[in-house]
Amino acid sequence: MTNTNPSPPDLAAALRARIAAEGPISVADYMAAANAHYYATRDPFGAAGDFVTAPEISQMFGELIGLWLADMWQRAGRPADARYVELGPGRGTLAADALRAMRGAGLTPPIELVETSPMLRDAQQAALPAARWHDDAGSLPGNAPLLIVANEFFDALPARQWLRDGDGWHELVVEMAGDGFRRVPGPLLREGTAGLLPSQEHRDGGIVELSEVSTAIAGGLAGRLARQGGVALIVDYGHARHGQGDTLQAVSRHEFADPWTAPGEQDLTVHVDFEALGDAARGEGVRVFGPVGQGAFLRAMGIDLRAASLAKASPGRTEEIVAARERLTAADQMGRLFKVMALVAPRWPVPEGFQG
Ligand code: SAH
């Protein structure tokens, strides 16, 4: 995992020195260094920042996730020692909304947050004073059922990329180009190495992408769920199947940007490969549900009723509440590209929201 030390102020200069000394670095190493610096040095969320996430759009998002967790917990027999766990909690907004909804159902679990950014930990502490923090999922409690949430966490984790040309497979690597950086094919992989590549449907000339960090984390969480009980809800933008090619993107001030300039100053993401996460989790003995579209999941969890009751309580805010519901659920907004997948421990119940 990335370290929690403040990164050097000029990441581009540090990366240039590293490439001068070591040679070109993998796309994953570039992405890891860029995002560690990016999240350590700012709160990127909201209109004044770089991007807006679902929990920052409306309280309904976190509340419905809280109700989903509470329902699973209730039907699992209300285990008294269950913990709330969130990976990459941002400002802590989702957790605060989910925990408020869970309290209504009699569920008040201890809060365990996995977060590497010191600056975002401060924001989370203000929202969730009783929480405990972890540098990575490895130090989460090992003897209690876990109610795990990860929203827009996996997309920020580093991915490697490979390209097949006429000669064979190459890993894509990052080198210096003038004042900036560029991505180029590295040396031809030795015969046999290509067998280690993700078994995806390779389109000619296509790029294959895999986040090994992501599949390792999904597998690790699934192993805990299989041993300790519990569930994980993973929400992110991405695809249900492998083989979507190059999905690396940079976002700054709500616009797409060039990933190869200003590393550490803009958000780098890849689309989440839900098939890879699901396979890693299934291999550890949990059941996998979905992914389904975020819109379908939120509608199944009752977002229409929740929006109506919020609007009834504050009629002056009706327009804003309806707009937020649309943004979270409409197919041409966050309803389809964003997907929801559940990992469920053996003997835990079949989750709501994944039928059909
Ligand atoms: N879930 C929040 C924030 C999403 S942004 C929301 O929906 O608003 C990604 C979050 O993951 C940030 O909190 C970021 O600091 C954290 N993060 C990124 N890489 C991480 C890593 N390797 N380990 C732990 N947290 C990480």
Per-residue confidence at 189, pLDDT binned at 50, 70, 90?
Answer: confident
CB atoms within 10 A of CB 63: 24
Computed over every residue of the chain, the mean pLDDT equals: 93
pLDDT of residue 202: 52
User: What CATH number was assigned to the domain covering residues 40-158+210-344?
Assistant: 3.40.50.12710
Pocket lining: 353 vs ligand 1, CB cutoff 6 Å: no
Rounded to the nearest 10 degrees, what angle do helices 118-127 and 93-104 cross at? 30
Per-residue confidence at 7, pLDDT binned at 50, 70, 90?
Answer: very low
Residue nearest to atom 14 of ligand 1 (CA): 88
Percent pLDDT > 90 in the chain is 87
| Distance (Å, whole) CA 24 – CA 352 | 47
pLDDT at 231 over 90: yes
Interval 138-171: pLDDT, tens = 999 999 999 999 999 999 999 999 998 888 889 9
User: Which mutation among 112, 115, 217, 268 tests ligand 1's pocket best, with the greatest number of atoms within 8 A of CB?
Assistant: 115
Pocket lining: 68 vs ligand 1, CB cutoff 6 Å: no
| Distance (Å, whole) CA 281 – CA 301 | 24
Dist. CA 227 → ligand 1 center (Å): 26
Pocket lining: 53 vs ligand 1, CB cutoff 6 Å: yes
Pocket lining: 294 vs ligand 1, CB cutoff 6 Å: no
pLDDT at 199 over 80: no
Mean pLDDT is lowest, of 97-111, 120-134, 185-199, for 185-199
Mean pLDDT is lowest, of 7-21, 41-55, 273-287, for 7-21
Dist. CA 205 → ligand 1 center (Å): 32
Sequence ranges of the domains in the chain: 40-158+210-344
Q: Smallest Cα–Cα separation from 255: which of 240, 239, 267? A: 267
Quote the pTM value.
0.95
pLDDT of residue 279: 97
pLDDT at 203 over 70: no
pLDDT at 6 over 50: no
pLDDT of residue 194: 60
Dist. CA 86 → ligand 1 center (Å): 10
- CB 115, CB 149: distance < 8 Å: no
Half-sphere exposure of 228 (CA within 13 A, CB side): 22
pLDDT at 49 over 90: yes
